[in-house]
Amino acid sequence: MARGKRLQITRNPTRAVRIGSFTIGAGHPIAVQSMTATRTCDIDATVKQIEALHAAGADCVRIAVDHPRDAAALAEIRDQTEANLAVDLQENYRLAEVVAPHVDKLRYNPGHLYHHQRDKPWQEKVRYLATVASEHDCALRVGVNCGSVDPAHQDQYPQDDPLRPMLASAWEHCQWLDQLGFTRYCVSLKDSDPQRVIDVNRRFAQQRPDVPLHLGVTEAGLPPEGIIKTRIALEQLISRGIGDTLRVSLTVSNDRKPEEIAAGRQILADIDHGRVRSVVDYGLQTLNIISCPSCSRVENNAFVNLAEQVRETTQYARDHALTIAVMGCRVNGPGETDDADLGLWCGPNHVNLKRGSQTLGHFSYDDILPRLKSELDLLISQQQRTK
């Protein structure tokens, strides 16, 4: 760590975007956010977690809404908390008008707009979202994620160039929202690789320095590794004036979710006082385990334990340059494990195992670790033969 005086950071001249009781952009303090991991329709548990995150200093708490039962629960949740709330529309953008009266921000993923009403142009869907947001005093977040990029853009670029389709999608949606006269939005461009997060956000900010950016490393994994990965990306971006709000996405149990807020605040404090790394060096020839933050989409709470067991089971391979991805649900799982050497994504009763984009089958939670180890041993053997 390089230590020094407080950094004099010139922030990007982003526009101001109000989200409930706080504002991002235009020189406002960088906000720290998190997301609930409870089932949204479990109102008591969700309110309890929102209040814990709020008490820990969360400027905003995001909630996933995947079906009408979640949307119905949101009205009661809103009545029981004063926290600023964002909603993740997941794959059903049409729930926006139901949830918007109860939240301060709507988050949609351009790549997920294709899952419903496939014959309707995405522009009409975004027009609907912007209209709903305007009518209910909500901000929007355009959330572009590495594993669920707009297929129309993904097909235009080589598979070994994952950033250009992300950027094309983000810029396109910004342009359309601007044309609609809706400018109360921010953008996020997330990947599980810190260097890609740095690259894609710097490139976006060069072309659209006016748009506030929500920073984070998706599926950062278990602490402390997940905090380290996130710190690497945030240090390099925020110290260059890029970024207006952030989330540290950690794979932790429900009672530990406030650790995301504490980690985010600590990273900001360290950057502010010059306690940053002077260079980014994440290209180490070591095992890399990525895992998504636990959230309400997780269909089996054994997911967090499984991520920890994967880390323990694979310690013997720590000196091999391989990536294992552990995802908690069907939304992130299928696509966001494609770039890993081995990928696991968890269902209610089984864990799906992949080698790259190839599906190897699904296994019980009791049987997955031996099979994972077998596949890992095979990859290590193949690596050694090619040296």
- 51-102 pLDDT tens trace: 999 999 999 999 999 889 999 999 999 999 999 999 999 788 999 999 999 9
If one counts the domains in the chain, the total is: 2
Q: Which of 217, 247, 272 is the last residue of a domain?
A: 272
53-57, 231-235, 327-331 — which is least confidently predicted? 327-331
Query: Which pLDDT score is estimated for 159?
Result: 79
Looking at the fold, whether 199 and 329 belong to one and the same domain comes out as no
Indicate if the pLDDT at residue 296 is higher than 80.
Answer: no
The answer to whether the bond into 162 is cis (omega within 30° of 0) is no
Please check whether residues 203 and 297 belong to one and the same domain.
no
Residue 2 in any domain: the answer is no
What does the alpha-carbon distance between residue 350 and residue 368 come to, in Å, rounded to a whole number? 9
CA distances from 62 to 47, 225, 274, 288 (A): 12, 23, 30, 27
Work out the pLDDT band at 300, boundaries 50, 70, 90: confident
- At 3 the pLDDT is 45
Q: Dihedral of CA 312/215/242/111: which sign?
A: positive
Q: Same domain for 120 and 90?
A: yes
Are 263 and 308 contained in the same domain? no
CB neighbours (10 Å) of residue 136? 16
Residues 266 and 293 in one domain: no
User: What average pLDDT does the structure give for the chain?
Assistant: 90
DSSP annotation of 256:
G
Same domain, 345 and 262: no
Q: Return the higher-pLDDT residue of 103 and 7.
A: 103
**Residues of the domain holding 69:** 17-272
In a domain? residue 1: no
CB atoms within 10 A of CB 154: 18
Distance CA 128, CA 131 (A): 5
Q: Is the pLDDT of residue 1 over 50?
A: no
